[in-house]
Amino acid sequence: MKARVFVTLKPGVLDPQGKAIHHALEGLGFNGVEGVRAGKLIELELADTTSDADIESMCRKLLANTVIENFKIERMATQ
């Protein structure tokens, strides 16, 4: 089984990297970009017995820093 964990900065937390990407996009002439927030995607290969609670615990203990970040888990069925 695979799972994807999306780690994003909480709303309201300043994102200097997102801001820099935004400026770079404008520099390339892309108009109408109203905001950019940068985050992380972490792909996990897991034993089928791994529970949702286990994945959530991984996120809370290591993958995200819940002081500043939110996370979203997406389980993917194995082909």
Partner 1 sequence: MSSAVIVFPGSNCDRDLAVAIEQVTGKAPAMVWHRESELPAGTDFVAIPGGFSYGDYLRSGAMAARSPVMRAVVEAAEKGIPILGVCNGFQVLTEAGLLPGALMRNAGLHFVCRPVGLKVENSQSIFTSAYSAGEEIAIPVAHHDGNYQADAGTLDRLEGEGRIAFRYTGEVNGSARNIAGILNDAGNVLGMMPHPERAFETAHGNTDGRRLFEGLLEAVA
Among 2, 4, 17, 24, binds partner 1 (CB under 8 A): 17
Among 33, 41, 68, 76, binds partner 1 (CB under 8 A): 68
Q: Residue 57, interface with partner 1 (CB under 8 A)?
A: no
Question: Which range, of 24-32, 43-51, 52-60, 65-73, touches partner 1 by CB under 8 A?
Answer: 65-73
Among 47, 53, 67, 77, binds partner 1 (CB under 8 A): 67
Structure token digits, residue 59:
């996120």
Dihedral (CA of 53, 54, 57, 58) sign: negative
Closest CA to 37 of 66, 63, 64, 8: 8
User: What 8-state DSSP symbol labels residue 13?
Assistant: S
Whether 5 and 41 have beta carbons less than 8 Å apart is answered as: yes
- Footprint of partner 1 (CB under 8 A): 13-14, 16-17, 20, 61-63, 65, 67-68
